[in-house]
Amino acid sequence: MPKITRAQLKQLVEAAIFVADTPLGTEQLQLTVLEGMAVSKTALIEVLKELQLDYQARGIQLQEVASGYRFVSADSLSPWLSKLWQEQAPRYSRAMLETLALIAYRQPITRGEIEDVRGVSVSSQIMKAMLERNWIKVVGHKELPGRPALYATTKQFLDYFALKSLSELPSADSFAQFIEDDQNPRPDSDVAVAAAHDEIPPSQSSEPRSLKLDETEQLH
């Protein structure tokens, strides 16, 4: 079994994460670029932590998300880096965020249950968009007439919002406040607060980043 020095391991892991199209987890690293090498999971995790420290004060940082590790630019540089692209960041309708919030905080949940809380029907376009983005998936069917699909969030949802697990979600109250701060409040549509009344456990994490609401896109 070929051996690899600590310095070589660090270089190889750094390069693999840099060139990968998606986040790389420890298991994936061991099954691919480290296959056949005498590298323990403990040693790999130690190297990843060292790399995180190495990049901590730089413009590029090694970030851990649900699917593994990836390199990202520092948040503080985004106002300048955004000038490299002409298009604006994606903007999501309030209806989509409310639907996504209910799935995230109450999963697994049916479309009918979402509609009961929102008080309006859920647009097929919204469900299709979230499924196509791979933010949500069908995890089963409820034992009711018609056996409606049960929806839950995915690792890709966590990756997109830079979360390692659902425990890092902000409290439902914080999510509700985020929506109210980003768009004029709609008194009959405080969905995240309604979710909080179901005793969703609060989180100490910060609010999701990079979420924008488009006032012109009001899908219901």
128 shares a domain with 59: no
Supply the range of the domain harboring residue 167: 94-196
75 shares a domain with 104: no
Residue 120 in any domain: the answer is yes
β-sheet bridge partners, residue 60: 73
CA–CA distance, 9 with 29 (Å, rounded to integer):
11
State the pLDDT at residue 32.
94
State the pLDDT at residue 12.
96
CA–CA distance, 161 with 72 (Å, rounded to integer):
13
Residue 7: count other Cβ atoms within 10 Å of its Cβ.
9
173 shares a domain with 151: yes
CA–CA distance, 180 with 211 (Å, rounded to integer):
13
In 111-214, DSSP assigns E strands to: 136-141, 149-153
183 shares a domain with 115: yes
pTM listed for this prediction: 0.67
The strand pair at 136-141 and 60-65 is best described as: unpaired
Residue 27 in any domain: the answer is yes
State the pLDDT at residue 210.
39
List the chain pLDDT tens, one digit each, 220 residues.
578 899 999 999 999 999 999 999 999 999 999 998 989 999 999 999 999 999 999 999 999 999 999 999 998 998 898 888 776 666 778 888 889 999 999 999 999 999 999 899 999 999 999 999 999 999 999 998 889 999 999 999 999 888 999 988 887 677 666 666 655 434 333 444 344 344 333 333 333 443 443 433 333 4
State how far the alpha carbon of 86 is from the alpha carbons of 81, 129, 216, in Å. 11, 23, 20
